Amino acid sequence: MKIHIVPSEYEGRRLCDYLRDLGYSQTMLTRLKNEGGLSVNGRFQRNIDPIRAGDKVFIEFPDKESVLTPNGSLKIPVLYETEDLIIYDKPDDMLVHPAGKGFDDALGNDFSFRFPGVPFRPLGRLDRHTTGLCLIAKNKLTAVRLSRNIEKEYYAVTEGVFKEKNGVVDAPLLRVPGSTIMRKVDPAGKPSLSEYRVIRQYPSHALVLLKLQTGRTHQIRVHMAYLGHPLAGDTLYGGHTDLITRQALHCGRMICRHGENIFDVRSPLPEDMDRLLKNIEA
């Protein structure tokens, strides 16, 4: 639940005007009205009714998400936290959501240990073997507000020498028939857009910075392979494991706009990707 105290400049103005200025969309206001999640000083009030300075506006979106089994033994690093969100630095070989009933070794299980009874709401997910920043909203309102206000930067070590040091991959992605996880570029797929820039070109590999305009499953991995530069270690899409045993992909930077606040969180390359770069530089 969120509680807002009405400031003096909104004395006599409509409740909906105040909430819109706080960032609530018309869709959110309609849902609050229909689902009974909006009150002023503990009493029902219409969106068009006037408010007074000092009024307490209570906001609560009903939760339908399930709470996961808590596990306090995972010890996942946290790089940033506020009352509304938390940003983890996810390690390799860990799912964001548990694999199913009976599993409790995912990032979500750590979240449920830290915040008992709070539904798990990750804003974007990382593959099991992709490392780096993963943001979890602690309440529904934050999840709605942040859904379109997050910028991420990914770092990948790819194979081969790039002819173009930067560019945009605009190639739709479609699930491979018969596979539950593998994707391919196909005109019948969903629109998918990736921006890339080669940070450093090595004789046989490159360190690449990527930004996504869409968030499709395996998007970076498939788009880089489509260019002829699969990620090192990514055997699913043509990479090799002689230098690293997982796809060399890391979410290394996240910029979020939350209300009037902008925060910039960074995670350094993990040890295995750092070692990979040192080996190909030697």
Catalytic residues: 127
Neighbouring-strand partners of residue 122: 136
CA proximity to 156, closest of 223, 222, 208: 208
Return the exposure string of 97-128: e unless at least 16 CB atoms fall within 10 Å of the residue's CB, then b. Answer: ebeeeeebbbbbbbbbbeeeebbbbbbbebbe
266 close to 253: Cβ distance less than 8 angstroms: yes
Task: State how far Cα 173 lies from the chain centre.
Answer: 19
DSSP string, 67-119: PPPP-TT----EEEE-SSEEEEEEPSS--SS-SSTT---SHHHHHHHHSTTPP
CA proximity to 175, closest of 163, 157, 188: 188
Neighbouring-strand partners of residue 58: 3, 39
CA proximity to 131, closest of 111, 151, 155, 100: 155
Side chain identity at 271, as an amino acid letter? E
